[in-house]
């Protein structure tokens, strides 16, 4: 299944400045793994050493947040996953 | 009631469909809390003052530094070393002397957040750190006051409006905060986002238009485009999850 992953601006520097990346996967986790396979530098920006989603990274699939522990949520062909890195500047 | 001078002053916005004299009177009766008088708080406060909001409660614990001046447009060269709220009050008074300015030199924390957010019609999140943003979001949920979030990094900005108990809040979309670090920012980025926050506040108070709820608006200044991410309330949200959906 082809899934479109949108990367927050901050994360693009770890993905050859790509804004969107097309990946294959059945679940959010599989899609993130496929993304990291293409751009390994993203791993430390998205997951901690124990491969748990960092608390300041939000992954949205179908408008719903997928937390650490809920990455097994299935995704549909053609779906979009958004990865946001929290920003707090003012 | 609007005075004859006010009807002239605000004529161009009173003309907006749905706004009218009634909307202007609602603005005149409203109090907006602006948490922070920096990059976001400056444009938000300036436009709310210009629009004729009744009262602005602006809170900041900092003094003006030289490195603030690329973006914090309430402050200028001669303000360096002054309390930001003093500088802000002076500038806002010059823009619109009829607006009541409650300028509070305070650090927002667990102990005072309820008192500081009391009796406000809307809260504008113009902070420079995430822990205080979450604190304000929590208070907004508790008091059921609309919370208008904005944040910037470099040339990226985000905004979202929260209607407590009805729409996704900050806790629904973000789980935690990274360590605080000095962040890059071009002054125009908070200019865009702070202005959007002021627009949302005016829309909420006057009841016009559609609010930026259940969607995160993302401004990408490098590519010069806006995008949105649709979001939903999270039933397990640590702040609003227990409120009726």
Interface of A with B in 41-80 (CB under 8 A): 54-56, 58, 60, 63-65, 67-68
pLDDT interval class at B34 (50, 70, 90): very high
Dump pLDDT digits (tens) for B56-94: 999 999 999 999 999 999 999 999 999 999 999 999 999
Of B136, B130, B160, B132, residue with least CA distance to B148 = B160
**What is the pLDDT at residue A19?**
95
The alpha carbon of residue B8 is apart from the nearest alpha carbon of chain A, in Å, by 34
**B221 interfaces chain A, CB cutoff of 8 Å:** no
Interface of B with A in 177-196 (CB under 8 A): 177-178, 180, 183, 185, 190
Of A61, A56, A55, residue with least CA distance to A82 = A61
Inter-residue contact A87 to B153 (CB < 8 Å) = yes
CB contact under 8 A, A55 and B190: no
- b/e A29-49 (16+ beta carbons within 10 angstroms → b): bbbbbbbbeebeebbebbbee
Q: What domains, with CATH codes, occur in chain B?
A: 18-230 (3.40.50.720)
Dump pLDDT digits (tens) for B109-125: 999 999 999 999 999 99
Name the strand (E) or helix (H) holding A84. strand A80-85
- Rounded to an integer, what is the distance from CA B36 to the centroid of its chain? 8
Q: Is residue A90 part of a domain?
A: no
Q: Is residue A30 part of a domain?
A: yes
Q: Are strands A2-7 and B215-220 parallel, antiparallel or unpaired?
A: unpaired
With H, G, I as helix, E, B as strand and everything else as coil, classify residue B42: helix
ipTM of the complex as predicted: 0.91
Dump pLDDT digits (tens) for A25-39: 999 999 999 999 999
**What is the pLDDT at residue A65?**
82
pLDDT interval class at B141 (50, 70, 90): very high
CB pairs under 8 A between A and B: 92
Residue B11, judged by CB atoms within 10 A of its CB (0-12, 13-18, 19+), counts as: exposed
CB contact under 8 A, A89 and B176: no
Residue A72 above 70 pLDDT?
yes
Of B161, B169, B174, residue with least CA distance to B212 = B161
Name the strand (E) or helix (H) holding A83. strand A80-85
**What is the pLDDT at residue B211?**
98
**B238 interfaces chain A, CB cutoff of 8 Å:** no
Residue B200 above 80 pLDDT?
yes
Find residue A89's DSSP bridge partners.
B152
Inter-residue contact B105 to B94 (CB < 8 Å) = no
The alpha carbon of residue A66 is apart from the nearest alpha carbon of chain B, in Å, by 10
Query: Cβ–Cβ contacts within 10 Å for residue B244, how many?
Result: 6
CATH code of the domain in which A24 resides: 3.10.20.30
DSSP sequence for B160-215: EEE-TTTS--HHHH----PPP----B-THHHHHHHHHHHHHHHHHHHT-S----SE
Residue B185 above 70 pLDDT?
yes
By Cβ distance, the residue of B130, B183, B229 closest to A60 is B229
- Rounded to an integer, what is the distance from CA B133 to the centroid of its chain? 11
Global pTM reads 0.96
For residue A33, the enclosing domain spans 2-85
Dump pLDDT digits (tens) for B218-230: 999 999 999 999 9
The alpha carbon of residue B3 is apart from the nearest alpha carbon of chain A, in Å, by 36
Number of domains in chain A: 1
**Mean pLDDT, range B22-39, rounded to an integer:** 98
Residue B13 CA to residue B29 CA, distance in Å, equals 16
pLDDT interval class at B133 (50, 70, 90): very high
**What is the pLDDT at residue A62?**
78
């Amino acid at each position: 299944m082809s899934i479109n992953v949108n990367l927050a601006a901050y994360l693009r520097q770890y993905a050859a400045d790509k804004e969107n990346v097309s990946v294959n996967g059945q679940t959010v986790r599989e899609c993130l793994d496929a993304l990291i396979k293409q751009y390994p530098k993203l791993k430390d920006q998205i997951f901690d050493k124990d491969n748990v989603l960092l608390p300041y990274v939000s992954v949205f699939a179908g408008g719903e947040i997928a937390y650490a522990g809920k990455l097994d949520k299935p995704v549909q062909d053609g779906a979009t996953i958004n990865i946001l890195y929290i920003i707090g500047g003012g | 009631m609007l005075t004859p001078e006010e009807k002239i002053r605000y004529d161009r916005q009173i003309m907006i469909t749905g706004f009218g004299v009634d909307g202007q009177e609602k603005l005149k009766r409203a109090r907006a809390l602006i948490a922070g008088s920096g990059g976001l708080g400056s444009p938000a406060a300036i436009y709310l003052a210009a629009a004729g909001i009744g009262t602005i409660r602006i809170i900041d614990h900092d003094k003006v530094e030289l490195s603030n001046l690329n973006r914090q447009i309430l402050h200028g060269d001669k303000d360096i070393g002054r309390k930001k709220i003093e500088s802000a009050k002076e500038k806002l008074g010059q823009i619109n002397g009829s607006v009541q300015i409650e300028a509070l030199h305070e650090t927002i924390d667990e102990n005072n957040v309820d008192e500081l957010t009391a009796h406000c019609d809307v809260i504008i999140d113009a902070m420079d750190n995430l822990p205080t943003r979450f604190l304000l979001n929590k208070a907004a949920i508790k008091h059921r006051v609309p919370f208008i979030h904005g944040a910037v990094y470099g040339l990226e900005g985000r905004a979202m409006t929260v209607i407590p108990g009805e729409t996704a809040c900050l806790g629904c979309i973000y789980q935690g905060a990274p360590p605080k670090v000095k962040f890059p920012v071009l002054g125009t980025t908070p200019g865009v986002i702070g202005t959007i926050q002021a627009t949302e506040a005016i829309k909420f108070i006057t009841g016009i238009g559609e609010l930026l709820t259940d969607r995160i608006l993302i401004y990408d200044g490098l590519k010069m485009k806006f995008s949105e991410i649709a979001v939903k309330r999270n039933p397990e949200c640590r702040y609003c999850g227990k409120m009726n959906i």
